[in-house]
Chains A and B, each alone.
Chain A
Amino acid sequence: EAGVAQSPRYKIIEKRQSVAFWCNPISGHATLYWYQQILGQGPKLLIQFQNNGVVDDSQLPKDRFSAERLKGVDSTLKIQPAKLEDSAVYLCASSADPYYGYTFGSGTRLTVV
């Protein structure tokens, strides 16, 4: 079974620029998550999708972050404009049933300078 694919692996941008991350979940997984992990901290959920719909985006900074999941498969997460404090690893995960946990992709390490 292919894993969760993410790109790019690394991204360096200047503050106030925009950036987008892409995620392709495991085939057949209805639930997709975007997490933010700041160095030294645990992952924090930004947004949870169930198929096309948003289940939870309560911790997504909506003034600068946006996310979509097209046709219930691939997803993109965008930051516009970026701030220094957005420097983190952005992890995508997917699950067939969250009760059994989920699988993470390799992540995108974002550095905002």
Chain B
Amino acid sequence: QKEVEQNSGPLSVPEGAIASLNCTYSDRGSQSFFWYRQYSGKSPELIMFIYSNGDKEDGRFTAQLNKASQYVSLLIRDSQPSDSATYLCAFGSSNTGKLIFGQGTTLQVKP
């Protein structure tokens, strides 16, 4: 079993729609969960973090965490072409605090 599993995509949505990105993780002891965005040829940038079960909203982004199901998701409302990128899910190891990343989901927002 992979430590972090994401659908590699590509996920294609029309402009203005809601994009839903999903991730499952294996470390039941992890306390911190992150979403990074990576544009082609660029380094990852942190867009959301969540520590508690439930939803966390920041502008057009909502992160959802369900520790019992070991599942975290990212919703992007009113998707824009500029949101087209690879979205990396990561969790903090309960042992060392290092971030363990999934392979990423490529999102394409079509005008």
Interface of A with B (CB < 8 Å)? 31, 33, 40-45, 48, 55-56, 89, 91, 98-107
Contact = CB atoms under 8 A, between A and B. Distances in A.
Indicate the member of A33, A43, A56, A89 with the most B CB atoms within 10 Å. A43
22 contacts: A33-B99, A40-B8, A40-B103, A41-B104, A42-B90, A42-B101, A42-B103, A42-B104, A43-B44, A43-B88, A45-B100, A48-B96, A55-B96, A56-B96, A56-B98, A91-B43, A98-B92, A98-B99, A100-B49, A101-B34, A101-B46, A101-B90
A55 B5 CA distance: 25
Given A42-B88, A42-B104, A101 B99 contact: yes
Nearest to B106: A40
B4 interface: yes
Given A31-B97, A41-B104, A104-B44, 6 more contacts: A42-B104, A43-B88, A45-B99, A101-B32, A103-B46, A107-B43
Contacts of B7: none
Contacts of B32: 98-101
B13 to A, nearest CB: 21
Interface size class of B (residues with CB under 8 A): 20 to 34
Contacts of A102: 46, 99
Interface in B32-68: 32, 34, 42-46, 49
A33 B44 CA distance: 14
A40 B88 CA distance: 11
Contacts of A91: 43-44
B49 A98 contact: no
